[in-house]
């Protein structure tokens, strides 16, 4: 019973406001009494846990005066928040059907009904409602955002792209970023079919919408690699570093291979060292230390690693340090023990997620361009800190 007390608050507040506002209208006394009776009956039903009957009475009260409409919105939104979608739908649908409602209330009812359908997973009906809200000043951008949520859930990328003009008109950064990723989804499929010209055309459109999309440059780099245009691929990888260096550890191997093809490893390691000094990433450190080992000696590599780990300890870095010692023929340490430590650290790291979502904190060993939890695009990046980069 008590749980209904909070549901009554907005209803009672709106009712109180209504009654206060109308107290000066002495000639409207009979309507007020009728409304008062219906509200009281409705609230009584709510208190006795007969919500459906309560809705009947409260809806009936709306017919008396439009001023009660806010109370109905509050009631329906509470139903939705409690997961009682059928009841929320019933109230909002009733409001939408009311021809005498002012335009702003009608628009709100249509928009809220869209949210009810979306919560219920009825995407086509939600889409209808949001489409109807698109041209309104108050709900246009919000409806567009929900429409993109629907198209993302149904992987209906083309429907989203059909909204491009509207997104550009709103000039909303978040939506432009989402739309660029819709283009990337289509480009990924075209790339799998090796339709390179088509892929580049699609990605150019994506870059127009969001010049800072790492994913777009990542796909472009793939195209250039497949076409053996390695300097162009390297330029894309450098672009990823400048756009969002948290993505960089995942492309470092590909970038290295491109520089090998260009026979320009010196430039690669110069870039790598600069990137490591700026970010402190363990993947970059390991890559650079391996270079020192080949160019100089294992001992020099160990010294560099030791200094780096003292400055910024990471488990991955420590594992590589142990490996260097294990490989060192002159090292007096017990090789068997070292191998065991390396094995233990590997097992430990294997169960640790490689990626985390920067928006919601979702962890995963696999990379997704769209977070499976919050559905944000390009939010899963390599984990930072002691157990990550
Ligand atoms: Zn997330």
pLDDT at residue 27 in the model: 53
> Per-residue DSSP letters for 187-209?
HHHHHHTT-HHHHHHHHHHHHHH
Q: How high is the pLDDT of residue 343?
A: 76
119-168 confidence digits (pLDDT tens):
999 999 999 999 999 989 999 999 999 999 999 999 999 999 999 999 99
Centre of ligand 1 to C-alpha 179, Å, is 18
Q: In the sheet that 363-364 helps form, which strands lie side by side, from edge to edge?
A: 363-364, 355-357, 380-382
Q: State the DSSP code for 66.
A: G
Task: Determine the distance separating the centroid of ligand 1 and the alpha carbon of 250, expressed in angstroms.
Answer: 19
Q: Determine the pLDDT at residue 15.
A: 53
Query: Rounded to the nearest whole angstrom, what is the distance from the C-alpha of residue 372 to the centroid of ligand 1?
Result: 7
Give me the mean pLDDT over the 365-379 stretch: 95
DSSP string, 93-124: HHHHH-TTS-HHHHHHHHHHHHHHHHHTT-HH
Taking the centre of ligand 1 as the mean of its atom positions, its distance from the CA of residue 362, in whole angstroms, is 5
Distance from the alpha carbon of residue 363 to the mean position of ligand 1, in angstroms: 9
382 CA → ligand 1 middle, Å? 13
φ, ψ of residue 28 to 5 degrees: the values are: -105, 25
Ligand 1 geometric centre to CA of 341 (Å): 34
pLDDT in tens, 14-36: 555 555 555 545 555 666 666 66
| Overall average pLDDT of the 344-372 stretch | 89
Q: Closest by alpha carbon to 129, among 112, 152, 153, 141?
A: 112
* pLDDT, tens digit (0-9, with 9 covering 90-100), for 206-254: 999 999 999 999 999 999 999 999 999 999 999 999 999 999 999 999 9
pLDDT in tens, 252-288: 999 999 999 999 999 999 999 999 999 989 999 999 9
Phi first, then psi, for residue 362 (nearest 5°) are: -60, 135
Looking at residue 253, its pLDDT comes to 95
**389 Cβ contact partners less than 8 Å away, ≥ 6 residues apart:** 246, 249, 279, 280, 281, 282, 283, 314, 316, 382, 383
137 Cα–ligand 1 center, Å: 29
| Ligand 1 center to 121 CA (angstroms) | 20
| pLDDT 10s digits, 76-125 | 888 888 888 998 999 899 999 888 888 999 999 999 999 999 999 999 99
Residue 374 CA to ligand 1 center (angstroms) comes to: 4
| Ligand 1 geometric centre to CA of 371 (Å) | 5
The residues spanned by each domain of the chain are 288-351, 352-389
Please answer whether residues 320 and 305 qualify as being in contact, where contact means their C-beta atoms are separated by less than 8 angstroms.
yes
How many angstroms separate the alpha carbon of residue 359 from the centre of ligand 1?
A: 5
């Amino acid at each position: 019973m008590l749980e209904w007390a909070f549901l009554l608050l907005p209803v009672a507040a709106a009712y109180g406001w209504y009654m206060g506002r109308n107290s000066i209208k002495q000639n409207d006394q009979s309507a007020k009494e009728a409304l008062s009776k219906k509200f009281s009956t409705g609230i009584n039903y709510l208190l006795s846990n007969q919500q459906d009957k309560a809705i009947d009475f409260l809806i009936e009260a709306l017919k008396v005066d439009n001023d009660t409409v806010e109370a109905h919105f509050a009631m329906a939104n509470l139903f939705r928040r409690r997961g009682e979608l059928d009841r929320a739908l019933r109230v909002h649908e009733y409001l939408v059907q009311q021809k005498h409602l002012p335009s702003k209330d009608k628009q709100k009812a249509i928009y809220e009904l869209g949210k009810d359908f979306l919560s219920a997973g009825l995407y086509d009906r939600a889409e209808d409602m949001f489409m109807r809200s698109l041209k309104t000043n108050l709900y246009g951008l919000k409806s567009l955002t929900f429409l993109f949520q629907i198209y993302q859930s149904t992987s209906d990328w083309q429907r989203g792209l059909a909204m491009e003009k509207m997104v550009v008109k709103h000039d909303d950064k978040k939506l432009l970023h989402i739309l660029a990723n819709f283009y990337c989804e289509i480009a990924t499929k075209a790339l799998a079919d090796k339709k390179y010209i088509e892929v580049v055309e699609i990605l150019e459109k994506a870059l127009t919408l969001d010049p800072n999309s790492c994913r777009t440059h990542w796909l472009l780099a793939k195209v250039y690699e497949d076409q053996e245009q390695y300097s162009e691929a390297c330029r894309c990888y450098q672009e990823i570093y400048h756009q969002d260096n948290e993505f960089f550890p995942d492309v470092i191997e590909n970038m290295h291979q491109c520089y090998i093809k260009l026979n320009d490893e010196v430039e690669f390691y110069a870039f790598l060292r600069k990137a490591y000094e700026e970010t402190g990433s363990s993947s970059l450190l390991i890559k650079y230390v391996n270079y020192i080992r080949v160019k100089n000696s294992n001992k020099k590599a160990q010294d560099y690693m030791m200094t780096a780990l003292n400055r910024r300890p990471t488990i991955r870095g420590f594992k590589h340090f142990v490996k260097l010692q294990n490989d060192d023929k002159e090292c007096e340490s017990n090789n068997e023990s070292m191998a065991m430590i390396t094995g233990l650290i590997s097992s430990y790291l294997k169960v640790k997620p490689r990626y985390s979502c920067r928006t919601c904190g979702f962890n995963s060993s696999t990379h997704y361009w769209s977070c499976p939890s919050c559905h944000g695009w390009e939010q899963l990046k390599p984990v930072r800190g002691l157990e990550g980069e």
